[in-house]
Amino acid sequence: MAASYGYAVLVVAEKPSIASAIALALSTKDNPFTTRGGSLPVHELERTYEGKLTKFKVTSVIGHVYSIDFHGRFQSWDTEPGLLFDADIVKKESNPKARVCHHLSSESKECNEVQLFLDCDREGENICFEVLDCIKLRSPARVRRAKFSAVTPAAILEAMKNLGTPNENESKAVDARQELDLRTGVAFTRYQTRFFQGRYGNLDSALISYGPCQTPTLGFVVDRHINIMEHVPETYYALRVEVKKSGVVVPLLWERGRVFDQQVCTAFALNVSSVKSLRVASVSSKRQKRSRPTGLNTVAMLKIASSQLGMGPHHAMQVAERLYIQGYLSYPRTESTGYPPGFDLRGTVASLRRHPMYGAFASALLESSRGPNPRAGHDAGDHPPITPCASATAEELGGGDSWRLYEVVVRHFLAGVSEDATIEVTRARLVGGGEAFLASGRKLVHPGFLEILPSGGMGRYGMGTTDEEADEEAAAEAEGGGGGGGGDDDDDEDSEYGRGVLPPLAEGESLNAEVSQRTGKTRPPDHLTESNLIALMERNGIGTDASIATHINNIIERRYVNLGAGRRLIPTDLGVCFVQGLKAIDSELVRPLVRGHVEKQLDLIARGDAAKEAVVEHIKHSFRSKFDFFVGHIGRMDALFENRFSPLASSGKPFTRCGRTNRILRLVASRPPRLYNPFTEEVLKLPDGGECKQYKGLECPICSYELCLYKLGGSDSKSSRSYPLCPGCYNFPPFKDDAAESTGAQSTAAADGGGGPGSARRAAMCLRCPMPEIHPIIAKLRICACPETEAEGGVLMLDPAGGPGNWRVISTRSSLIFYLPKSVISAKVLDREDDDGCRLLSLEFHKDQTPLEGGATKHVASLLNDELLEGMITASHGSTSMRRRGGGRGGGRGRGRGRGRGKRMTEAEMKMSFHSF
């Protein structure tokens, strides 16, 4: 390449799909691109660049290239958590198997320039510098940064014309946040998880996690719940009054609202009833506008998705990102509600002219004298508001949530660049019997944006609310801490007030009145909805547009909160105890002010106004002091847990025997599953994700603990797999390599939601064999290397839970299962091997179903090279099952070194014989 091209450019995108879109945008029909490579494809093309013929290589990373973790011994849960605030931190590849670093280094060697097409936010800037750490450009070397907001050819080519440089300060702000969150989150999480899981049996959570953003988010939910629990209902009394004019019944609102004394209300009712009619004291009409919405930012989109579409924030972001990558929406992570100067509004509207649903509205908008005219909003300078990038129908998007969210964005965009709506509001005041009542009605004069954004369709954009009333509602919501549904039992009656069009009323005329009393009880506000919570997080600076959805998803996934009807968030006992316990020790650990302060300090780094090292040291010292105080006063939180949860001593059932004390261990099956020794107060973790069962009373040859069976695959016996498990060796690995593996990723997993000691390994291995393949209880059942996972050390072994008609061979590191013939009533692994190193099986067939000549029932077979078994064994992954066909003996080697090595077997490979792998 160097000989043919004097200049070469490496383009790096954040995802392979975006790299493909960039290559497509840079290529032409006469100059197409070619593609090579596997999981990280490289698209190559040539084009004129800065006046010279240039070779372009377009490839990608897969998110962050690096992650951070604690060094060496600090990864172990046995390390004192307080030491983590000063422990060494190392960077390592986020996905070592993908070999992203090697890929970038190799592809950049013959390039002079790198163009970084990473997401245009702080995380994207951070990935820019991760990429730069991997590449090796030849001289003269240039580093260029592309800024774009849509994955369309026009946006990509425009970004190529305006290349800049990556922002190192923003990258350092991300590094600082990652380090602070790791140190703080892991230290608190490890300490409180071990403390409480060692004391209580029914916590139903894999860990008790703390997060600088997650915990204040949970605090909002619990605060609302506490307000509801503390509310004492009061009975109130009010007048129900209606008048009729021109056949129209008009409900009136009592000016006093309500009273809390029934006799007083009765007296008012008698006074009004005695006059039998009400006089119209005043009537006024006023035209008011309902402003079109500002541009749609991330927070507004998530609120609408939750409240109007019933889509959780985390799922909504996934859908939006998929639509962005496909080129239908602009970048969905933005704080902006205002369009930057020069934004092509007409072009965006014009792209919708042929849409079967919105085309007529878009065409009329383009032909109007005002044209697309957005309302002024806030331009945060990151990305423009979320807009459609291409016209699409429900069929083209496959319907479902993709279409529903796309429709929200299209309608919101068109509404935002159209005209305001005009509403005529009529108000009347009627008097009689010493009391006053109010009537209100409204009429739509000019629909404006409401033509495309129907009444009630997208929150409070309907005709029923003017700008003045919307401001009042927003203020009330802020005052109420997130708003939402509180009030009185009879609020529905009051809600009818002012909904319709008033009949003509004249000052001084009298109208007959129907008077009655109504009774109700005051109600607390409802639990927060996801939409309410998003608003609170935004208002208090908790999280960013890129992370708010993740924080909400975390408190649900970690069982602090349950999602109720109407997407309302209801805290669990664990969530309430955790937040109230933190408040009892140090309320600042829950309050949003602390995280808000941290975010402001990170902003200083991003702007270049403060050094990263100084900010990290200051915040680290503050949280270390809080951690020490928390540890010293943990009893305050424990007092709350003690009242809600059962002690381990009274939990679980007798299950297995301890190899050190010879005492019976109790199985606590609730999450996280564990064994408890009531005599020593020792707690042993068990793998999570399957079911632990008793197993023949056999002992481990290493530590003498009684063995268990770890069953995976649910109740379906055909797809289930069982592995022998030693609780002692699982918690105290006897092999050096296994011990290193068990601590290799604990700390990061703990911050993100792992379990107790060794949790990261166990969380990763919960769907495979929990014991290392070299352990004697696995080695005894080992047959040969697994054709799918040999590179990882996986083997095929005889399932110890097999029986007559249900014998199977299973993989230790994948869901691969080979079913022996149902006529086999006994199977045993022998110590002898065939020529390929595969241990032989001793099989016994049912006497009435034997395939052996002369009615023989016993047979010694090689799983790899036995002609009798060929065609009699079936293979499956989960519920996908197919029969293996026989094949010749020639070809591949028997230890899995053929087609299936290191990857999941295809259906075609499953149909082949063992020796064809």
**Active centre residues (catalytic):** 331
Phi–psi pair at 883, nearest 5 degrees: -90, 135
Geometric angle at alpha carbon 596, from 594 and 597, rounded to 5°: 65
Instruction: For residue 640, give the amino acid letter.
Output: L
Q: Is the peptide bond before 140 cis (omega within 30 degrees of 0)?
A: yes
- 243 burial via Cβ count (<10 Å: 0-12, 13-18, 19+): buried
Query: 432 near 511, Cβ under 8 Å?
Result: no
Give the chain's radius of gyration (CA, Å). 34
Length of the chain: 917
Are the CB atoms for 400 and 248 separated by under 8 Å?
no
d(CA 682, CA 633): 23
**Residue carrying structure tokens 């792209």:** 351
Buried b / exposed e over 471-493, threshold 16 CB at 10 Å, is eeeeeebeeebbbbbbebebeee
Residue that is written with structure tokens 């799909």 in the block: 17
Peptide bond just before 672 cis, omega within 30 deg: yes
User: Torsion-angle region of residue 801: left (phi > 0), alpha (psi -120 to 50) or beta?
Assistant: alpha
Bridge-based pairing of strands 510-523 and 277-290 is antiparallel
Closest-CA residue to 76 (of 616, 731, 620, 689): 731
CA distance 559 to 252: 46
Q: Measured between alpha carbons, how far is 484 from 532 in angstroms, rounded to an integer?
A: 7
Are the C-beta atoms of 185 and 212 separated by less than 8 Å? yes
Distance CA 576, CA 637 (A): 11
Beta carbons of 655 and 677 less than 8 angstroms apart: no
Task: Give the C-alpha separation, 678 to 19, whole Å.
Answer: 58
Q: Which helix (H) or strand (E) holds 562?
A: strand 561-563
Residue 151 exposure: Cα atoms within 13 Å on the Cβ side: 27
Q: Which has the closest alpha carbon to 592: 556, 621, 562, 551?
A: 551
Which stretches within 589-694 are classed as H helix? 592-607, 612-632, 634-644
3 DSSP assignment:
T
Between β-strands 113-117 and 248-254, what pairing exists: parallel, antiparallel or unpaired? unpaired
**Residue 67 vs residues 175, 529, 817, 864: alpha-carbon distances, Å:** 10, 33, 35, 42
* HEC-encoded secondary structure of 14-29: CCHHHHHHHHHHHCCC
Contact present, 206 and 764 (Cβ < 8 Å): no
Structure tokens at 770: 């929990």
For strands 839-845 and 824-833, give the pairing. Answer: antiparallel
- One-letter identity of residue 232: V
Which tokens is 696 given? Answer: 């023949």
* Pairing of β 34-36 and β 42-49: antiparallel
